Amino acid sequence: MSTPTAVLGAGSFGTCLAVLAARAHDVAIWSRREDVATSINRDRRNPRYLSDVELSGAIEATTELRAALSGRALVIVAVPSQQLRGVMAAAAPFLEPGAIIVSAVKGIEFETGLTMHGVLQEVLDPVHHPRLVALSGPSFASEIARRRPTMVTLACYEEAFAISVQAALSCPWFRCYTETDVIGVETAGALKNVIAIAVGISDAMDGGHNARAALMTRGLTEITRIGVAQGAHPETFLGLAGIGDLLLTCTGDLSRNRRIGLGLGRGRKLDEIVAELGEVAEGVQTTRAAVRLAERLGVEAPITNMVRSIIDGEKTPAEAGYELMTRQLRSERDHDQEHDARRDAPRDPQRDPKRGQEV
């Protein structure tokens, strides 16, 4: 059965998800840019992202949120994390009351420290809260658009809605799993970008495979630490949204955040690297937000702090790396007791359904 679908955001990930959904559903894709919408409708191409991919006739582009959302039972959001609040505040009046809203956005809002689910809870009417689903996992947009085998996680506190999205999007080359640990899935999806920058820096400096493996492993520890401190389940970080996405983003050459790190490790200026990418690299602002979040939670995050110091020009990559390697020696299991104490705690304990998620 076809599900009328809207995709908010015509960047690379929004475009690839429109391609995915259009195999079985009527899709409206919203773009801020008139030239992008015109090109999609006229030429069946997005002129800025994935421009070599032909778009189905089932996809119709618009610059009007009302037109994109009217009558749509499934709404997929794929906009930059720091723009999510503004876009969804503008979209809110046009959402159908029973629509399922899927956030494919990976990041932490800088000003509030909220995950994307928390932002949506603050912006949207409570009627929508049970139907908020987070999509995350190892998934490069260009590979999804070209029907390369991909597996992702769909997280929702009310799992029945994740199962509905699973049925709508899954196909022989795109497999969805469901999960109820929303805070764990979103924390993993956001913070893996920070670790990918660190790995890119190390690789550019010829740090070697040993250093890459160490950064990824200890990076996963940091991500888990921050997630568990918010009520996430440690096991979530061993799944697709955790170690799966971390592996892809740290090692895949299509990763924008890895490329940010490669540039920084070669001594290039951040602004120059970002301008060259031509797309948002979520890890830059997420790094700054993650440092503040970790401090607020009382969680140690030395790799995240190292990346932040390099991004903000306070330390050179060599200085930050030396400082990281010469920290006080300790047991690898120092935090196991802390994790065990939190393992059976209610999920996302800061979440007040009436007020939204707070940290």
Residues whose CB falls within 8 Å of the CB of residue 27, separated by 6 or more in sequence, listed in order: 5, 6, 7, 18, 21, 56, 58, 59, 60
- Known catalytic residue at 106: no
- Return the H-helix or E-strand segment holding 27: strand 27-30
* Residue 314 neighbours by CB distance under 10 Å: 10
Cα–Cα distance for residue pair 91/101, rounded to 1 Å = 11
Q: Are strands 74-77 and 356-357 parallel, antiparallel or unpaired?
A: unpaired
For residue 314, give both structure tokens: 């306070």
Spatial neighbors of 304 by CB under 8 A, at least 6 apart, are 191, 194, 222, 287, 290, 291, 294
Alpha-carbon span 312 to 319, nearest angstrom: 13
Residue type, 100: I
Beta pairing partners, 155:
134, 179
Question: What region, left, alpha or beta, does residue 76 occupy, with left being phi > 0 and alpha being psi -120 to 50 degrees?
Answer: beta
C-alpha 305/C-alpha 291 separation (Å) is: 6
Separation between Cα atoms, residue 227 and residue 238, nearest integer Å: 12
User: Is 287 in contact with 194 (CB distance < 8 Å)?
Assistant: yes
Q: How far apart are CA 73 and CA 26, in angstroms?
A: 11
Torsion 338-342-343-349 (CA) sign = negative
Question: In the chain, what is the straight-line distance between the N-terminal and C-terminal CA atoms, in Å?
Answer: 40
Candidate list 106, 192, 269, 354, residue with the active-site label: 192
**In this structure, are residues 136 and 185 in contact, taking their beta carbons and an 8 Å threshold?**
yes
CA-nearest of 160, 137, 146 to 23 is: 146
Which residues belong to the active site? Answer: 192
